[in-house]
């Protein structure tokens, strides 16, 4: 049998999707009366505080009716934040055109870190427009990186 977090994820995901949102992550820290259920949601263009509040009410009502957590708990519903790591296909697709730093599990082209713009993600391969290493140079080169070689990436805000 799966963990409580797995059960909650499975049962809550349809509620999130009904609101045209993505369930990014779910964490359940069970500590008796201090238990916390933390749910991270997102969508293209981001989520609003109102959407988080609305979904929190829906999930809270659902959990009370279904009695999935038989003791007191705190429910938190939020966006994963601007600086969240990109790890899944949908993360990269949502951030196409963005400037990112990619951390690799193994060397690609002799490097374990690459900086560039996400051009596309197709068939499990990330196509990155690599920034020139020399300042003032305008030569971008394309690098195809198998997604299974990517540990994670982050958006570069500058």
> What are the tokens at 116?
């560039």
Q: What is the CATH number of domain 89-155?
A: 2.30.30.100
Q: Which class is domain 4-78? A: alpha beta
Q: What is the pLDDT of residue 70?
A: 84
pTM exceeds 0.85 for this model: no
Contact of 115 with 156, CB cutoff 8 Å: yes
Instruction: Provide the pLDDT for residue 137.
Output: 67
Of 114 and 81, the one with more pLDDT:
114
Per DSSP, the residues of the chain read: ---HHHHHHHHHHHHHHHTT-EEEEEEEE--GGGEEEEEEEE-TT---HHHHHHHHHHHHHHHHHHTSS-S-EEEEEE---TTPPB-SHHHHHHTTT-EEEEEEEEEETTEEEEEEEEEEEETTEEEEEEPPSSTT----EEEEEEGGGEEEEEE---
Give the pLDDT band of residue 2 (cuts 50, 70, 90): low
> Could you state, in order of their start, the residue ranges of all structural domains in the chain?
4-78, 89-155
Do residues 156 and 101 make contact, with C-beta atoms less than 8 angstroms apart?
Answer: yes
Q: 89-155: same fold as 4-78?
A: no
Model confidence over 27-79: pLDDT tens digits? 999 886 779 999 999 887 789 999 999 999 999 999 999 998 888 899 999 99
């Amino acid at each position: 049998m799966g963990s409580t977090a797995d059960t909650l994820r499975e049962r809550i995901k349809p509620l999130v999707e009904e609101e045209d949102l993505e369930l990014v992550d779910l964490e359940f820290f069970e500590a008796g009366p201090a238990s916390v259920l933390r749910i991270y949601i997102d969508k293209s263009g981001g989520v609003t505080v109102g959407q988080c509040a609305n979904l929190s009410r829906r999930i809270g009502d659902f959990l009370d009716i279904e009695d999935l957590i038989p003791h007191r708990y705190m429910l938190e519903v939020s966006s994963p934040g601007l600086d969240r790591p990109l790890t899944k296909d949908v993360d990269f697709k949502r951030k196409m055109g963005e400037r990112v730093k990619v951390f690799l599990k193994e060397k690609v082209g002799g490097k374990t870190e690459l900086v560039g713009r996400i051009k596309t993600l197709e068939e499990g391969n990330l196509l990155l427009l690599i920034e020139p290493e020399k300042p003032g140079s305008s030569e971008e080169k394309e690098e195809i990186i198998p997604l299974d070689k990517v540990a994670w990436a982050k958006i570069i805000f500058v």
